[in-house]
Structure 1
Amino acid sequence: MPTARERARARTTEAILAAARTQLAEVGAAALSLRAVAREVGLVSSAVYRYFPSRDELLTTLIIEAYDAVGEAAEAARAAADGTARESWVAVWRAVRAWAQAHPAQYALIYGSPVPGYAAPPDTLPAAGRVGVVLGAIATEGRADDPSDPADHVVAAIAPDVSATLGVDPRLGPAAVSAWTLLFGTVGFELFGQYENVVLDRETYFDHVAGAAATAVGLP
């Protein structure tokens, strides 16, 4: 059972993160300031550094939190789906889109423009791969018996550890990366206003793209 000191630290940590999320929505990740967060929480700047020694460490925590949140949404959608692999695939795509629409600032943090001067450390990678792992599992389990595989030089264009991380056959790697690009590119284009006066029925179009990606990975 956590001690009173540990509970107090956890409450302060969450208050700092909540203030940082508000900053993300108001000024964007590039302008995130530990001093401004400290003021919002009612702490002196030096006190915040005891929880997050630098802006980059705070950003890393927010990034992992966002990746985990969208990953959990994808996993929950797959668990709740009760149909074919193709239907599970589309359900996961819809869950990612819904999460992005509900959390646009966090989506922009992980899939928008890079933050100047910040380099994400390796410990963000497991969380970043959660959506891909879910889709990879669906593709592997539901793939048709005789899929159309790409040429060897196309397979070789994808880093071997990508397929391993996603849990897919290396010959599925190009289609998996293409699906990943389509998913987050389509969500991002909608979220950031690129479809204005272009796509009139966003849901219908999104489902069409999800279906095309499902076909590309071999889902019947």
Structure 2
Amino acid sequence: MDVSETNATNDDTTRAALIKDTARQQLVKVGAGGLSLDGVARDSGLAVSDVAAVFPHRDDLLTALVIDAYNASGAAMERADEAATAAGASAGARLLAVTRALRQWSFDHVAEFTLIYGSPVPGYHAPQDTVPPASRTPAVLGGIVRTALMGGELTPPRRAVPGPPLLLPAAVEAFGGVPEAPFSDIIERGIVLWSNLIGLLVFQVFSRTHDSVSDEAAYFDYAIAVAAETIGLEVPLGEG
């Protein structure tokens, strides 16, 4: 690659970053449903043709924002887990650390949280490209559950999943196989934990609990501890 090609690549990267930064500001002002290439061009000072050269359609820009949001939120959880693991934390303490990290990211980036966990954008269908970034959050949770299982930190459940298995093969593969009894339904339980986490965040980010609890941060920790009981994991409260 010669100098001119390198400069062109750098220009494209810079332009893409400017477009996405402007689009994130648009998310705050008009929401994902109101995002448009014309609006981004106007607010960024670029020509519409320059925006379209990078993101030909609104959905291409939305997809880039979705991928960035999933990657950023997943990375926040991964960093928290790495720090907790390095400090010798238990699996329960690691779970609390990563969920707190996701909560902080969610409050710091409400528009992006809304984009990936709020109401679907009319007319937009996320492509397959968004799946790996979206998988980072459950991957962090799954890694903690595996560690707890291997380390003997889980209490056997009192109730097993009735009937045939409820999982798709991809979920089993992602976890690394189905554990033996009495933890043969730990993947199902992990999905319950994951869904409880996202639902709790939706409640808190969109102010559904502020009229019910006096300390939302403390309530979040408590709720995570209760949800963790689903997989037989004890979360130490009152730490950090």
TM above 0.5, yes or no, is yes
AA at the equivalent of 1:50? A
Q: In the alignment, what sits opposite 1:102?
A: 108
Instruction: Answer whether contact 2:155 2:233 (CA < 8 A) is retained.
Output: no
Q: In the alignment, what sits opposite 1:119?
A: 125
- Which protein is bigger by CA-based radius of gyration? 2
Per-residue deviation at 1:216? 1.5
Deviations 1:44-70 (A, max 9, x none): 212211100100010000000000000
The number of aligned residues is: 219
Seen in structure 2, the aligned counterparts of structure 1 residues 168 and 115 have a Cα distance that, compared at 3 Å, is farther
Instruction: Answer whether contact 1:19 1:37 (CA < 8 A) is retained.
Output: yes
Q: In the alignment, what sits opposite 1:165?
A: 174
Q: In the alignment, what sits opposite 1:45?
A: 48
Q: In the alignment, what sits opposite 1:156?
A: 165
Q: In the alignment, what sits opposite 2:237?
A: none
Q: In the alignment, what sits opposite 1:71?
A: 74
Per-residue deviation at 1:145? 6.1
Per-residue deviation at 1:5? 1.2
From 13, 34, 48, the equivalent of 1:10 is 13
Say if 2:197 is the partner of 1:203.
no
Question: How far, CA to CA, are the matches of 1:111 and 1:164 in structure 2?
Answer: 24
AA at the equivalent of 2:185? R
Per-residue deviation at 1:161? 1.5
Farther off after superposition, 3-12 or 166-175: 166-175
Instruction: Answer whether contact 1:132 1:166 (CA < 8 A) is retained.
Output: no
Instruction: Answer whether contact 2:106 2:205 (CA < 8 A) is retained.
Output: yes
Seen in structure 2, the aligned counterparts of structure 1 residues 168 and 212 have a Cα distance that, compared at 3 Å, is farther
Question: How far, CA to CA, are the matches of 2:29 and 2:137 in structure 1?
Answer: 27
Instruction: Answer whether contact 2:154 2:231 (CA < 8 A) is retained.
Output: no
Farther off after superposition, 194-203 or 89-98: 194-203
Question: How far, CA to CA, are the matches of 2:43 and 2:60 in structure 1?
Answer: 18
Deviations 1:22-61 (A, max 9, x none): 0001110011011110111222212211100100010000
Say if 2:91 is the partner of 1:88.
no
From 23, 30, 34, the equivalent of 1:20 is 23
Q: TM (normalized to structure 1)?
A: 0.93
AA at the equivalent of 2:205? L
Let me know the Cα RMSD of the aligned residues: 1.8
Q: In the alignment, what sits opposite 1:58?
A: 61
Runs of 4+ in 1 over 4 A off after TM superposition: none
Give the % identical residues. 39
Question: How far, CA to CA, are the matches of 2:207 and 2:155 in structure 1?
Answer: 39
AA at the equivalent of 2:231? V
Q: In the alignment, what sits opposite 2:141?
A: 135
Question: How far, CA to CA, are the matches of 2:233 and 2:172 in structure 1?
Answer: 17
Instruction: Answer whether contact 2:99 2:197 (CA < 8 A) is retained.
Output: yes
Q: TM (normalized to structure 2)?
A: 0.86
AA at the equivalent of 1:44? A
Question: How far, CA to CA, are the matches of 1:168 and 1:101 in structure 2?
Answer: 35
- Uncovered stretches (5+) of structure 1, i.e. residues with no partner: none
Deviations 1:78-111 (A, max 9, x none): 0000211100011001000000010000000000
AA at the equivalent of 2:122? P
Q: Please list, as runs of the form range in 1=range in 2, the aligned pairs for 1:21-36 lying within 5 A after superposition.
A: 21-36=24-39
